[in-house]
Structure 1
Amino acid sequence: MIMLLPVLTMLAALGSGIMAGLFFAFSSFIMTAFSKLPPEQGIAAMNSINVTILNATFGMAFFGTALLCIVLGIQAISPASPEGTALWTRYFAEWVPWNHVRTFASTGSLIAFILAYGKLNAV
């Protein structure tokens, strides 16, 4: 199972991305387009999508992704395991220095905004 984890993780990420794209499409323009139709046409269009979407491809993306996420959650590394300890040690060593970079970058942004605000109010 350990050998399959990278492949399963990639498939779960891909499925999540596909589902995110679908939900984004509905949120950003499909429902807006439907709202411009007379109610009976909008309802008919939505019903058509609801019937058409029930296919193997959508089912595999929707339910397969959920199933992969469950499997990956069950197979996640135990914090008390040697793998968990090694992962934490590596994560800690890599995260802390980059967190310092983010802190300095954010502080630099704060200073830049304060200086810009001062110049705007001086005018």
Structure 2
Amino acid sequence: MLNIALVLFVVGNSLISGIFFIFSNTIMKALKESAPKHNCQIMKDINRIIINPAFMLLFLTTPLLAVFLLFSSSFASLFLNLATIVHIIGVFGITVTQNVPRNNRLEKTDDYWKTYLKEWTFWNHIRTISAILSTIFAVLYLL
């Protein structure tokens, strides 16, 4: 059971890393350079569309797997413990406390766009790095 959970965690974390990376590397840069009257609405549309069953299953299941792995593994498993803690705090925690509130604020007012772009992108970089590190730690545990 632990091995299945670990594989699912690595796959989920890898997919999340990719999603967050594409925002940092491409989407937010494109929105920054696009016409100001459209970019805010495009981001609002993205924020609504990304809340779909596939993404939510991935986003909510991966931290649950992290908690399961954290409490099922030996405390001597440094890399696995790091992988799970980094995911819970740096991926899930940052999303819930930093990115989602900014999405909600943007939905209410277009005037927030310029500030949103800087702040949301900064926190997305942090959660992208966290997701990548978490995946690396989990893979190192497997080696």
TM range (shorter): 0.5 to 0.7
CA distance in 2, matches of 1:78, 1:53: 35
1:78 is displaced (CA, Å) by 4.6
- Of structures 1 and 2, the one with the larger relative CO (CA 8 A, separation 6+) is 2
Partner residue of 2:31? Answer: 34
Query: 2:11 aligned with 1:14, yes or no?
Result: yes
Q: In structure 2, the residue corresponding to 1:54 is in which secondary structure? A: coil
Q: Larger deviation: 35-44 or 8-17?
A: 35-44
Work out whether 1:63 is the aligned partner of 2:60.
yes
CA RMSD of aligned residues (A): 1.3
Unaligned ranges ≥5, structure 2: 78-143
Q: 2:52 corresponds to which letter in structure 1?
A: N
Residue equivalent to 1:23: 20
Write the mapping of 1:29-108 to structure 2, written as runs, cut at 5 A: 29-79=26-76
- Following TM superposition, where does structure 1 have runs of at least 4 consecutive aligned residues deviating by more than 3 angstroms? none
1:105-116 → structure 2 map (5 Å cutoff): none
Report sequence identity in percent. Answer: 30
With 8-17 and 30-39 compared, the bigger mean Cα shift is at 30-39
Aligned residues: 77
TM-score, length-normalised on structure 1? 0.59
Distance of 2:32 and 2:75 partners within structure 1? 48
Deviation at 1:6, TM superposition (A): 0.5
* Alpha-carbon distance between aligned partners in 2 of 1:16 and 1:6, rounded to the nearest angstrom: 15
